[in-house]
Amino acid sequence: MKRIGILTAGGDTPALNATIYGAVQRANALKIEVVGLLRGYAGLLDPQVPHVLLNPLYSSIPELDPCKGGTLIGSSRTYLDHNSHEHLQVAGRHVAKLQLDGLICIGGDGTINGMQQLAEMLPCVLAPKTIDNDLGLNYPGEPDEWQRPQGAEGPSVRGVRSRDTLRLEDIINYATPGFATAVFVVVQMVERLRTTAESHHRIAVVEVMGRQSGYIALGAAYAQPDIILIPEVPVDPHQLTQQVSRIYDQQQNVVIVVGEGVRGVDGRELGAAEPAFDPAGNVKYAGAADAIVGMLEQSLSPDLFLETRRFEPGSSALFSRKVGHTQRGGRPILFDRFAATQLGGKAVELLAAGYSNEIATLQYSATDGFTFRSIAANRLRDRWGEIHPREVHPSLYDAGRMQLSSLGMEYLKPIFTRAVGADDVEYMRREVFDAGCLSNRYQSINSDIRRRIRYL
């Protein structure tokens, strides 16, 4: 293998450049050229196929910084349509003209769907990324638990789980690059909102990302919110009201963290959902926190606020905030840089060893710590070919307390105990208020990379 391509597809995460960096460094050692395809699959379909040689003379270009968030080769939500013979023909011609012997796709479930079309033309490997931490399995064979009523059309539905609890060693792809940094951002915001809630005796509802998976909300437990609501467990209005009333009566403030995909007891999303341009069938969520605020405005007794907010309406005690896209950007913390660079390097090794349609994975065991392995991409699919977002297993969450369970704590500790490095702290001390930022304009990586772009 002499020349491989690499692309980033789907939404951005803080650790994409770190993954590219790891791949390029391993390719340098193996004397393999790495071509960065700009704008993901869109670049591969572009008649000019804009691309960048990332390691001329087997030396990484200086613009490739694993400590910088985002992706220097750009991304898009354009995917290969498996029903479009023309798309596949175009992609095949461009792969041949670039003389690629293999391709690394950095992405999530939607990226896999596009990659599998290309795997029929050349060896392809996925390096996982998503802040949602929903790419993987709680245990081998989990996709077989999804069912469809006989003769029914439409998406699969989850059947009865085969395991009541988890063994952490069995989790396939323990954590995805970007997840730890997203939780780091959320924890900082929740901690800051807590002091406002305390000072004004208010109830704060903080909405975090994660789509249908509650891992980011689960990780927010490090900020000590009073209540955590995850999409996997329907919100019971009566239980929530009782819990909020009890906590507010005790401490005169409440902080609630809610995953954006939370559902009511009827199974419907509490926030608004609209289709997204994504072949994995993902949707955009908005307003889950507002929905929880509206629910509590109707159910909480005005007498609850007599002592603290006698001269203000009870509804003024509640407010919502969305952490939003800050979870997806900025400098990745140490754990994400470590996991991303190693997974990028693993992806190159898999290609060099002759693997295709494979996913590099991060595994954990108490005896070996973190190790890097792989799994065939099709093992994530159910019998109808669907890839389902990995959900928070019930054993990781205490639904009665609306909090992390004991096993949930054990799950998070390996990721976050040393997730922030000394260099992360030093960066904040040295760079955040650097006086040079006042006089110098921001230098975009896009401007630097444009000087290196080549075309067919």
**CA separation (Å) from 48 to 66, 81, 93, 411, 429?**
28, 20, 12, 46, 44
Bridge partners, 360 (sequence order): 374
The C-alpha angle with vertex 326 and arms to 321 and 332, in degrees rounded to 5, equals 140
What 3-state DSSP class applies to 370? strand
User: Do 395 and 166 contact (CB within 8 A), yes or no?
Assistant: yes
Q: Burial-class residue 249 by CB neighbours within 10 Å (0-12, 13-18, 19+).
A: exposed
CA distance 168 to 174: 8
CA distance 341 to 23: 7
Q: Name the residue among 284, 285, 298, 291 with its Cα closest to residue 320.
A: 291
User: Do 30 and 351 contact (CB within 8 A), yes or no?
Assistant: no
User: Do 49 and 99 contact (CB within 8 A), yes or no?
Assistant: no
User: Do 138 and 171 contact (CB within 8 A), yes or no?
Assistant: yes
Q: What are phi and psi of 81, to 5 degrees?
A: -85, 115
For the question of residue 336 being annotated catalytic, the response is: no
Q: What is the distance in angstroms between the CA of the first residue and the CA of the last residue of the chain? A: 21
Residues 6+ apart with CB under 8 A from 140: 170, 172, 379
Q: Which one of the listed residues 109, 132, 134, 382 is annotated catalytic?
A: 132
Return the active site residues.
132
